[in-house]
Amino acid sequence: MSKNDHALLVQEPLHPVEGLLSDGRSITYYDDGPGHDRSAPDTRGLAPSVSGAQLRFDPLTRQPVLVAAHRQVRTTGSAAGDCPLCPSRPGRPTEIPADDYHVAVFGNRFSSLGGAVGGRTEVVCFSSDHERPVAELPAGRLATIGRAWADRTARLSLLPEVESVFVFENRGADVGATLAHPHGQIYAYPYLPPTQAAVLDSAREHRARTGGCLLCSVVEREAAGPRVVAGTDRFTAYVPEAARWPYEVHIAPRRCAGDLAALADDERDELMVLYGDVLRRFDRLFDDPTPYMACWHQAPVRHRDVLDHFYGQVFTIRRAADKLKFLASSESGAGAFINDVAPEAAAQRLREAARPLSARPGR
C-alpha cells in the first residue's frame, strides 16, 4: 500500500473526535457509534511534554538502541482510584478529559521516541472500565479497537520520518505492564526494528528465489498442519513451528495485506473476533489471568514491494501455572532461544482451551 492509499483510508467516516491535552499532546476518541460528547477540556495545566530520547547504534550487532532516561519517572502501578487512564472525575483530572469513553488514543507523555530522534508513541485505551480486560470486551468494542488501530496506522504511516508502525499490548506485571488499566501502545519508529528488518531480509530472499510472498507460504503450510489453534474463512491462528515462547500464537490473513489499514471493514471485524478468541484461550490456560504480550507486525511503510503481509503475535512468558520463562544467558546474551514447551503440545492445549473450564482434563 502506498502513502496515497493510506491517505484515502484516513478520509473514511470513522467518527473520531479529536482534541488536545493541556501540554499540547493530541487525543482522539473512537466510539462504538455516534452521539457521544467528548468535548471536555483538559484542566490540568501541564507543562509541555518534551522527549529526551537518543538513538544509538551498537557497532557489533549493527542494531539500534533507544536511550530514554527521562522515562524513569513515568507513572506505574495505579489502582482504579488514582489511575491516569480512567475517565476524569470532578476534582481528579486524568489523561482522559471526558467523563466516559470507548476507545481513546493520545500521545505518550513519557515517549521513547519523538524530539531529535523522530517518530511518535501513542497510548491506546481500550475501555473506560478499569477492570475489564480486552478478552472480555464485546465484539462491537473489539471492532472499534481494530478501527482505531487501522486509522492510527494509516495516519502515522503518512509521517515522512516513519518507517514502521508497531501496535502492541502488554497485559500483566510479569511482562512489564506498568499500569493495570486495559491499554496498549503504538510505536511509529523512524527506523526498522531488528525483528522487522530480519523478516524483511527473509522475505526479500524468498521473493527473489520463488517470486512469491514468504508469509503466504508460511500461512498456507501452517493452516494444513498440527499447530492450528483456530481460524476463520480469511484468517488463521497457529503456533509457529519454531515458537520461542512457551505459548505463542501467530494470527495472519490468508491473503496479502500489508497492515491493519489494508483490510476492509468486514475483514478487520472478523480478525478482531478471532483475536478475542485467542486471548480468551490464553486466559484459560491457567487458574488466574495469563500475562501476555500482543504484537502486530505490520509491513514496513517503504518496502511493500518485498513484504506486504502483516501478522499478529500473542505470547506469554508463563510456561506452567507457577513457573515463568525467564530470558537466561542463552536468550539474553547469545540470542539463542530455548523453548520448554513443544509447539505442537502448546497448540493442543490452546485448542482445548476453547472448551468450558469444567470440561477440560485436570480441572
DSSP state of 44: S
Burial grade of 43 (CB within 10 A; 0-12, 13-18, 19 or more): exposed
118-137: string of b/e by CB count within 10 Å (b at 16+)? Answer: bbbbbbbbbbbebeebbbeb
Q: 120 is written with which cell numbers?
A: 511518535
Let me know if 15 is a catalytic residue.
no
The CA distances from residue 317 to 58, 248, 276, 284, 363, in Å, are 27, 9, 19, 15, 22
SS3 content of the chain, % helix, strand, coil (to 5): 30, 25, 50
Distance between CA 282 and CA 261 in Å, rounded? 26
Compute how many other C-beta atoms are within 10 angstroms of the C-beta atom of residue 150.
Answer: 22
Hey, what amino acid is at 32?
Answer: D
Matching residue, cell 527506523 = 191
Angle of CA points 208, 210, 212, to nearest 5° = 90
DSSP character string of 278-320: HHHHHHTSSSSPPPEEEEEEPPPTT-TTT----EEEEEESEEE
E-assigned strand segments in 148-302: 164-171, 183-189, 228-231, 235-238, 247-253, 292-297
Residue tagged active-site, from 6, 181, 183, 303: 183
Active site amino acids:
183
